[in-house]
A and B are shown apart, each in its own frame.
Chain A
Amino acid sequence: VRMRSRIPVILLSCGSFNPTTNMHMRLFELARDHLHQTGQYQVIEGIMSPVSDKYGKKGLVSARHRVAMARLALETSDWIRVDPWESEQDTWTETVKVLRHHYEEALRAFQSQEFMRNKYPTGSSTADSLSCQQPVLPELKLLCGADFLQTFKTPNLWKEEDIKEIVEKFGLVCVSRAGSDPSQFIQESDLLSEFQHNIFLVREWIQNEISATQIRSALCRGLSVKYLIPDSVIAYIAQHNVYTAESERRNEGHLLQPLRPQNTPINPLRD
């Protein structure tokens, strides 16, 4: 039976990764399984993009550490990698801009592959197994948890046009735990409803809610976090004394960057 070409998908996860936990990595695995089981997609890559220090979130340690820990956590993965681009920018970058950047990169890679394929046509190679006759453009989707989706309704946190671009041009893969169901939240938003075909809801039946905040709290109390985050990350944290009572106070009292006045989206309907 000849299969229709699957659409190649790259999953992008944006967040603090402060630190990376087993749950962050689980999201990728769940999302990949889900997309594969639709029969329409082939997930070719996963990208973890830690937020820049300029985000200003309380307790956010230096990007240098967060990127290093993510790298250690992903050592055993053959398809997920960490990309420091976002963390290296001078200012905080809107999620939609991070998506655009990585999409451009993916396109560039795709086009150079196409160029090579046309220049040096071969018979059938394993690289062509995805593309059959018509190579399919890859899609980049934002991977997130249901709590991330909920932040769309936090006042002033998102620009409406950005949300639209995310769900229209890219797509969302939203992983939620067994008890909660974000479909209602989607129904209640005209914008999200319009693009629900591009919002993939994945149920996580094996609950594993390891919040980074709880991890940091446990570490400060001298409690064990073994089997919740990779051993290599635990070792790194100990070696570099990453999380302390002091690091937890960083950015205390400061406003999150996207909420700061110069970033506040103007909503003409408000006045």
Chain B
Amino acid sequence: DPDRKTEVVLLACGSFNPITNMHLRLFELAKDHLHETGKYKVIKGIISPVGDAYKKKGLISANHRVTMAKLATKNSDWVEVDDWESCQSEWLETLKVLRYHHQKLLSADVTNSVQDAVPITKLGRKRKQESNRHEPIKKKNQSPVVKSVPQVKLLCGSDMLESFGIPNLWKLEDITEIVEKHGLVCISRAGNNAQKFIYESDLLWRHKNNIHLVEEWITNDISSTKIRRALRRGQSIRYLVPDAVRAYIERQRLYGPESEDRNAGLVLAPLQKHAADPGAHGLHN
């Protein structure tokens, strides 16, 4: 029953410095996996590059990173780029980005529901005419117009999942809300530690039904770090990133030894923010 499926939007947060074929693959793998459960319908994928205020070493300007992500998703009919996060002047917690997109999704949904609300009235009228029947009046949630609430799930690799354990990087309350209210789709290499990591955390274990682990059988280790390294050494990155991204990097002469030194010595924004905050404690108990 297609109406019973939960609509899902996959949200990927990260540096995308630059975006690679591996990032794009995450979306495809996640969509296939969720569809195969029979319970979900993935309606959209969102790439949300982090803002410059993140202060990660080697992070080039958000303008370039957003442009490259847009070039990369030009040929996708369901994955798009959202630059809201990258436009913020301060670094934003991932949870805030999730909440933003969830709110956006709900407002869009309400608009749609309002438009679809008219048939309910018509049905209501029809039921009144048959009120002498002894059938129970059908409840609102059986009307085909009302779907279950769409969800925004955080799409990531096992490295992000495991980063939950890095002291001061994440607030415990944020991780809780992410896995409780939204959900995670985590792609990892066969034989990885993701399951073990979940097992070792009471919090993650409690919400393991909302953490979808997807195994990637085709080893695909195209990390942005390696791409930048190859570029510094004059090596080819063809077939590792979309061709339009490769061409853009070449034209704009992005990624050299100087760009890699950006933010050197600076503290990553979340670490700086949480260092003073006693609530930001580790995940494991």
Contacts and interface: CB of A to CB of B under 8 A. Distances in A.
B203 interface: no
Contact of B218 (A30, A211, A226): A211
B235 A33 contact: yes
B31 A206 contact: no
A120 interface: no
A226 B230 CA distance: 23
Given A29-B236, A29-B238, A32-B236, A227 B217 contact: no
Contact of B240 (A76, A208, A214): A208
A83 to B, nearest CB: 20
B24 A226 contact: yes
Contacts of B217: 214
Nearest to B79: A226
Nearest to B24: A227
A108 interface: no
Interface string A178-217: 0000000000000000000000000001111111001000
A226 B236 CA distance: 21
Contacts of B75: 231
Contacts of A211: 218
B236 A209 contact: no
Interface string A209-250: 111001000000001101110010000000000000000000
B6 interface: no
Contacts of B222: 206-208
A172 B71 CA distance: 37
For the side of the interface on B, what is the size category? 20 to 34
Interface string B219-259: 11111001100100011101110110000000000000000
B218 A214 contact: yes
B210 interface: no
Nearest to B21: A227
Interface string B21-38: 110110011011000000
A14 interface: no
Contact of B219 (A30, A208, A231): A208
Contact of B236 (A23, A33, A223): A33
Contacts of B235: 33
Nearest to B220: A208
A207 B21 contact: no
Contacts of B238: 25-26, 29, 77
For the side of the interface on A, what is the size category? 20 to 34
Contacts of A156: none
Nearest to B246: A76
Contacts of B240: 22, 26, 206, 208
Interface string A117-131: 000000000000000
Interface in B1-60: 21-22, 24-25, 28-29, 31-32
B218 A224 contact: no
Contacts of A26: 238-240
B192 to A, nearest CB: 14
Contact of A207 (B31, B32, B219, B236): B219
A220 to B, nearest CB: 13
Contact of B221 (A25, A30, A206): A206
Interface string B199-218: 00000000000000000011
A22 B238 CA distance: 9
Contacts of A30: 236
Contacts of B24: 226-227
B217, B221, B223, most chain A CB atoms within 10 A: B221
Given A76-B243, A227-B25, A227-B28, A210 B218 contact: yes
A88 B217 CA distance: 34
B219 A209 contact: yes
B21 A22 contact: yes
A214 B25 CA distance: 15
B78 to A, nearest CB: 11
Contacts of B227: 206
Contacts of B218: 209-211, 214, 228
A93 to B, nearest CB: 27
Contacts of A23: 239
A76 B107 CA distance: 43
Contacts of B242: 227
Contacts of B32: 223-224
A207 B25 contact: no
Contacts of A205: 226
* List of 4 A-B pairs having minimum Cβ-Cβ separation, nearest first: A207-B221, A224-B28, A29-B236, A22-B239
16 contacts: A22-B21, A26-B238, A26-B240, A33-B235, A206-B223, A207-B219, A207-B220, A207-B222, A209-B219, A214-B217, A214-B218, A223-B32, A224-B29, A226-B25, A226-B28, A227-B22
Given A22-B21, A210-B218, A228-B218, 12 more contacts: A25-B238, A29-B236, A29-B238, A208-B219, A209-B218, A209-B219, A209-B220, A210-B220, A224-B28, A227-B22, A228-B25, A231-B75
